Amino acid sequence: MTSPVDSPLVRAARRQDVPHTPVWFMRQAGRSLPEYRAIRQDVGMLESCRTPELVTEITLQPVRRHGVDAAILFSDIVVPLMAVGLDLDIVAGVGPVVAEPVRARSDLDRLPELAPEAVPDIAESVRLLVAELGATPLIGFAGAPFTLASYLVEGGPSKNHERTKALMHGDPQLWDDLCARLAQISLAFLRVQADHGASAVQLFDSWAGHLSRADYLRHVEPHSRAVLAGMAQSHPEVPRIHFGVGTGELLAPMADAGADVIGVDYRVSLADAVERTGGRYAVQGNLDPALLFAPWQPLERRVREIVEEGRAAPGHIFNLGHGVLPTTDPDVLTRVVELVHEVSVR
Ligand code: 1CP
């Protein structure tokens, strides 16, 4: 293996044969690692996301430690919103908080389009990382329009997304205009990463599982489709992963929105996910992040089952069903990587 293009991750995403099942973890960089906590001690989250030397070091930490098959750019879904000038912060223990929520047509004026020139730091981070990573692929990412809109409309993290749904149904035209703008921002952010060498991209629609299938199809899917289609058009060689939490009922429309790989959380088996998406897509997942706290024996059993199920899929990228929890023992993650590699050798 000499180039990220031939890496197990990119090959699995393209449903080509692989020497072993590739594995990475959502939130593999972050608070589970003591070296991350040390480097972040005196630096705010958004500041660290926009300082290329810090982004590079933090992104590489889990690659060095765990031997995962991919790096994911250390950033956040709200970074491009900050880059277009929106007043927001990431508050420790809370998440993204927006100073003035977006709820009226006049608020769209505070959300201009994203020009690549607004994120030179992201281009630089990706360049530095690709040079350091060699044959290991870098995954770029962006938030999908619905999940981004949820933070903007609610003003921060939300349990029920009530204001978001009120806007979606109360003023569908404004909702569509907001999501179209967010789709432009997400697509531009993904393109900057792919232009500078990201080998795959993941669109995070983390909270789409809160929607009915009908609402997803009517109010959300066209905007996510625009992002994925834009990437397919400009960077057809860069595989697209589409992920959400609790999206068992949405797997088919999310895959059909223009993905190569459908992210699967732990609530649905990989076999069911393959069936629900017509056997046409690679799957990514789906170990329950809470199982990393269980004794090794049941954890090992579950990892082996997931690898086996993945072998029957058109392509499989091993991952968790959602992000690494902050109190996870990092040594367990390293052992899981070793186990996946060992039991999946072709
Ligand atoms: O100070 C800190 O360490 C803050 C914690 C943290 C971290 C490490 C936040 C705040 N963001 C991040 C990094 C981050 N965010 C990554 C890093 C790359 C990696 O995986 O290693 C990624 C991919 C994201 C993307 C992100 N941010 C998502 C989508 C992924 C997911 O988890 O579903 C979402 C929903 C966010 C919003 C966000 N940012 C931070 C938090 C705590 C949250 C969630 C808040 C909520 O519950 O709504």
Instruction: Tell me how far apart the alpha carbons of residues 283 and 321 are, in angstroms, rounded to a whole number.
Output: 11
Instruction: Tell me how far apart the alpha carbons of residues 65 and 334 are, in angstroms, rounded to a whole number.
Output: 7
Counting atoms of ligand 1 from 1, which one is nearest the CA of 94? 42
pLDDT tens digits along 318-333:
999 999 999 999 999 9
According to the annotation, is 173 in a ligand binding site? no
Report the pLDDT value the prediction gives residue 2, as an integer from 0 to 100.
78
pLDDT tens digits along 72-117:
999 999 999 999 999 999 999 999 999 999 999 999 999 999 999 9
According to the annotation, is 28 in a ligand binding site? yes
Residue 319 structure tokens: 């991952």
* CB neighbourhood size of 273 (10 A): 25
Mutate to test the pocket of ligand 1, among 43, 77, 186, 265 (most ligand atoms within 8 A of CB): 77
pLDDT tens digits along 262-320:
999 999 999 999 999 999 999 999 999 999 999 999 999 999 999 999 999 999 999 99
* CB neighbourhood size of 45 (10 A): 17
pLDDT tens digits along 161-215:
999 999 999 999 999 999 999 999 999 999 999 999 999 999 999 999 999 999 9
Q: How close is the Cα of 156 to the center of ligand 1, in Å?
A: 13
Please work out whether the CB of residue 157 comes within 6 Å of at least one atom of ligand 1.
yes
Average pLDDT over residues 42-61: 97
Say whether pTM exceeds 0.80: yes
Instruction: Tell me how far apart the alpha carbons of residues 194 and 138 are, in angstroms, rounded to a whole number.
Output: 9
Q: Is the pLDDT of residue 30 over 60?
A: yes
According to the annotation, is 206 in a ligand binding site? yes
Q: Is the pLDDT of residue 1 over 80?
A: no
Domains along the chain with CATH numbers: 4-344 (3.20.20.210)
Q: Is the ipTM of this complex over 0.95?
A: no
